[in-house]
């Protein structure tokens, strides 16, 4: 995922979490960066969802976006 916010003061991390929350259809407050706050590689958790559920929703979101183009 690429975001446009600068990496300073956590702006890019917040935007990353917001984009992910929108893609999987949850509130931003349910998404948190577990590991990699200062790295390009991140581990992200979505409260109440397994990794496979998040992956499936991201795939559906990407497919829908591709069809919309």
- Structural domain contains residue 13: yes
- Structural domain contains residue 35: yes
- Structural domain contains residue 2: no
Q: How many domains does the chain divide into?
A: 1
- Structural domain contains residue 3: no
- Give the number of other CB atoms < 10 A from CB of residue 65: 10
- Structural domain contains residue 20: yes
- Structural domain contains residue 56: yes
- Structural domain contains residue 36: yes
- Structural domain contains residue 46: yes
Residue 46's contacts (CB-CB under 8 Å, 6 or more residues apart) are: 20, 21, 24, 26, 30, 31, 53, 54
**The pTM of the whole model exceeds 0.75:** yes
What does the chain come to in residues? 69
pLDDT reading at 4 higher than 90? no
Give me the domain span that covers residue 59.
8-68
Token look-up 């069809």 returns 67
The pLDDT, as a whole number, for residue 65 is 86
Token look-up 């992956």 returns 55
Rounded mean pLDDT of 33-41?
Answer: 90
The pLDDT, as a whole number, for residue 60 is 93
């Amino acid at each position: 995922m690429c975001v446009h916010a600068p990496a300073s003061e956590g702006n890019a991390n917040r935007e990353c979490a917001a984009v992910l929350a929108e893609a999987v259809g949850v509130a931003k407050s349910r998404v948190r960066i577990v590991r990699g706050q200062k790295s390009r590689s991140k581990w992200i958790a979505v409260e109440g969802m397994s990794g496979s559920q998040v992956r499936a929703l991201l795939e559906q979101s990407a497919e829908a976006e591709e069809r919309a183009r």
